[in-house]
Amino acid sequence: MAEHEMTLFQVGLAAFYIFLFKLTQQTDLCVLTISANRYRAELKDILGFFSNTLPQRMIIDPHWTLDQLFDCTKELCLKSMRHAHFPYQEMGELQGIQTLFLAEPICQAKCSSELVLKPSRSLLDDMVAKFDMTCSIDYNNEIRSITASLNVSTDLFDAKTISTMAYRFQCLLDQVFISVSSFVCNISLLLEHETELLQQVNMNNKFQYQSNLLLLHEQFANRVEEHPQKLAVVLDNQCLTYGELFYFAQLISYHLINACHIQPNDIVPLCVERSLEMTIGILATLMSHAIYCPLTPNHPQQRLNGILRQTNARCILTHDMTANKFESKTVNLSSLIRPNNIDIIDQSLNVPRRDFDEVAYIIFTSGSTGEPKGVQLTHRNLLLTVASYAYNGSILPTDTALQITPCSFDAHVPELLGCLIMGGTSILLHPDGNMQLNYLTSLVERNQASYMHSVPSHLSIICEQLEKDNAFERLVTLRSLCSSGEAMDIRSLNKFRRNTKATIFNLYGPAECTDVSIYKITQDVKQMIEPTCIGRLSPNLVCRILDPYMQTIIPDGHQIGELFVSGPSVFPGYLNRNDLTQCVLINGLSDRTEPYYKTGDLVRLDAYGSLHYVGRKDFMVKLRGPASFAQTRLYLDECLRFGTSKNSIATYHMPLVYEIIQTSISLKRLERALMTIIHKHKILRTRLLFDENLGELQQEILDEISPIIIVTEVDNEKDVEKILY
């Protein structure tokens, strides 16, 4: 204080600013201080009590050192004294003024090199909180000690929270007086028990796994030896046993190696509809020691061509339904597995064994530039993800799994291959079978499926249909019902819990780190379903939740930070994009040698060690990406009549709805069509037309675009709807 010629009050005010910044994660702060001094020398000898409340606004730069913050606080206090005579009551009537916090002063002598402070009594002897929070600092000259106290409104905070805040303030003061060269953002409010909680989050649920595991197709071959006559895949009236599936996959792998000259680590795209050929093609690619890359047949040709350019593929696996989609390099799986074309395999595959950490498959996701980016995932990534699912009970070796997830989503790989390498049976849907609800639920009943996984919007529509038909008994065999990719629909999940015996699992994990956390919802109706909860961290992973200044957040269930994940399910990088890889795989966040994946997802961590999803950090909006089932069902019929594709709809939960169109349809005709399919009270205020590649747009870009059509005349059915919408 002597070095900066500051009073204890000014130091305390600076500490209080840091305290509020760390608690609220806000930099623009306004604190009320009480002034009881004469603001002019002429008033020094006048008797009376001069008291006023001064608002002191500080915009903190988190990268300031404490030295810099002290200087700014001192300057702020001196400048505010010029206005000490202006009544705060009148200032409070000014528009835009809102102050929540109060910092009380210390009665003190004039500033000198040897500062002498006089202790003072609190002005709030009645213990009534006049503000949300009041901080008082008292100096006892006799014992040369400082006492800080917080007077907090119990209407807003309970006793436990107030006590915790007091301990945090003490922790902060200890750091403030140790080193004034520290950065403001590096000050920590973490208490000892919270540090232990963060360690437990990363240490719990560990299980041992073999360091030298078999490759994916080798795992499948072991299951073939164990039960060759067990059903592996079923599609309506077609089926393949483990032995038959292995034979056909091996047959195709011979063709890939000998006829197509596929080498280890070559990328083999697979463009097929839901079919037996899909499973055969995936396993054949892995058996030839190549890399599986799914292509969605109904995606725009421009996107498919872009992926082919990036993969530099020697051949493309298709079947009869997609054979004409590409001009060259195609291998028709349907023709190769016809009975008259089948050869007897009398030799073993002669290919070098691949490393467990080499890439097994690539999933292309949309990027902010519109250019698809390839997420590379290894044999280790998938095997340990499946092991984690088995450890938590979401999928087991005894399950009969309904395979709903399309190949455009990364979850289809652990869902399909995971079931097969564990020894289960996979039930496939025919093309567009996920949109035929009676067909889908009948498959569960007919095949006695015990596992089902889909996005929450799809599950909600299934629930509505089952409730309408009074047909929940079709799901009586379900043991595990999994959802992922979207926020949970609490009402639907409660109905599933009441009407089935299934345990519900909410799975969270981006494509770059398929398995991050699992939220388990049991049949116990006393367990409240938390819509934002994504559960505890998956086994063998560690995480850090950091604020914008790379500091650990407080695990109180309120503070928000970005999730960083490290462990065996984290991908090795993007295909041919080292620049993007370096941006998301971060080293040096801990003493671990493995990098942390920067998810871009904002989460909270509660006091029980569970993660809660908040949203995206970058506000990405998908363009022409795969719409959810609910959106597709709403728009599909009408949009197809007007020439748009079912993947051309992009919605965003903001006041604006962005509509992406792929054809030359007139705007007037499109406007009439849209107004007929959108419910009247769901007002479509603005429509934007883009001429962009498939991908994502950042919210900042959308904000800068001027709308082409603005609809101002909208029919409202009721006055209530006018208020709500």
Terminal C-alpha separation, the chain:
56
Give the 3-state DSSP-derived string for 393-446, with helices as H, strands as E and coil as C. Answer: CCCCCCCEEEECCCCCCCCHHHHHHHHHHHCCEEEECCCCHHHCHHHHHHHHHH
In 3D space, the residue among 643, 650, 716 whose CA is nearest the CA of residue 687 turns out to be 650
* Residue 222 placed within a domain: no
* Residue 334 placed within a domain: no
Q: What is the mean pLDDT of the chain?
A: 80
Last residue of a domain, one of 165, 189, 213: 189
The arithmetic mean of pLDDT across residues 178-204, rounded, is 88
* Residues 25 and 158 placed together within one structural domain of the fold: yes
pLDDT greater than 90 at residue 460: yes
Sign of CA dihedral 379, 385, 386, 387: positive
Strand-pairing partners, residue 55, are 32
Say if residues 252 and 277 touch (Cβ distance below 8 Å). no
pLDDT tens, position by position, 595-609: 999 999 999 999 999
Buried b (16+ CB within 10 A) or exposed e, 649-659: bbbeeeebbbb
**Whole-number Cα distances in Å, 520 to 11, 389, 502:** 48, 11, 11
Say if residues 538 and 205 touch (Cβ distance below 8 Å). yes
* Residue 207 placed within a domain: no
Say if residues 297 and 272 touch (Cβ distance below 8 Å). yes
* Residues 31 and 153 placed together within one structural domain of the fold: yes
Q: What is the pLDDT of residue 458?
A: 92
* Residue 517 placed within a domain: no
Alpha helices in 423-528 (DSSP H): 437-447, 456-469, 490-499
**Are β-strands 517-521 and 330-332 bridged in parallel, bridged antiparallel, or unpaired?**
unpaired
Residues 6+ apart with CB under 8 A from 611: 508, 517, 533, 534, 535, 536, 537, 563, 603, 604, 605
Residues 6+ apart with CB under 8 A from 148: 12, 135, 136, 137, 138, 169, 170, 173
Say if residues 132 and 153 touch (Cβ distance below 8 Å). yes
Residues 6+ apart with CB under 8 A from 228: 241, 242, 243, 246
* Residues 502 and 633 placed together within one structural domain of the fold: no
Residues 6+ apart with CB under 8 A from 616: 600, 601, 602
* Residue 338 placed within a domain: no
Question: Coil, strand, or helix at residue 696?
Answer: strand
Total count of residues recorded for the chain: 725
pLDDT tens, position by position, 301-325: 888 999 999 999 999 999 999 989 9
Which H/E stretch holds residue 13? helix 8-24
Alpha helices in 25-85 (DSSP H): 66-80
* Residue 445 placed within a domain: yes
Last residue of a domain, one of 461, 485, 508: 508
The amino acid present at 634, given as its one-letter code, is: L
Tokens of 538: 């998956």
Tokens of 521: 């919802």
pLDDT greater than 80 at residue 51: no
Count of other CB atoms within 10 angstroms of residue 681 = 15
The arithmetic mean of pLDDT across residues 269-278, rounded, is 95
CA pair distance 161, 467, nearest whole angstrom: 44
Last residue of a domain, one of 508, 523, 548: 508
pLDDT tens, position by position, 79-112: 877 766 666 655 555 555 444 455 554 444 333 3
Kindly state the DSSP code that residue 494 receives in the 8-state scheme: H
CA pair distance 97, 90, nearest whole angstrom: 11
* Residues 180 and 48 placed together within one structural domain of the fold: yes
pLDDT-derived band at 632 (thresholds 50, 70, 90) equals very low
Alpha helices in 207-300 (DSSP H): 216-226, 242-258, 276-287
The amino acid present at 198, given as its one-letter code, is: L
Residues 6+ apart with CB under 8 A from 287: 217, 249, 250, 253, 349
Say if residues 468 and 444 touch (Cβ distance below 8 Å). no
Instruction: Report the CATH number at residue 439.
Output: 3.40.50.980
The amino acid present at 449, given as its one-letter code, is: A
Which of 115-129, 155-169, 610-624: highest mean pLDDT?
Answer: 155-169
**Whole-number Cα distances in Å, 538 to 165, 535, 609:** 31, 9, 12
Q: What is the pLDDT of residue 202?
A: 86
CA pair distance 339, 389, nearest whole angstrom: 38
* Residue 606 placed within a domain: no
Which H/E stretch holds residue 231? strand 231-235
Give pTM, 2 decimals: 0.80
pLDDT tens, position by position, 218-229: 999 999 999 999
Q: What is the pLDDT of residue 657?
A: 42
* Residues 645 and 498 placed together within one structural domain of the fold: no
Count of other CB atoms within 10 angstroms of residue 91 = 15
* Residue 534 placed within a domain: no
pLDDT greater than 90 at residue 661: no
Q: How many domains does the chain have?
A: 3
Instruction: Report the CATH number at residue 32.
Output: 3.30.559.30
403: containing domain: 396-411+423-508
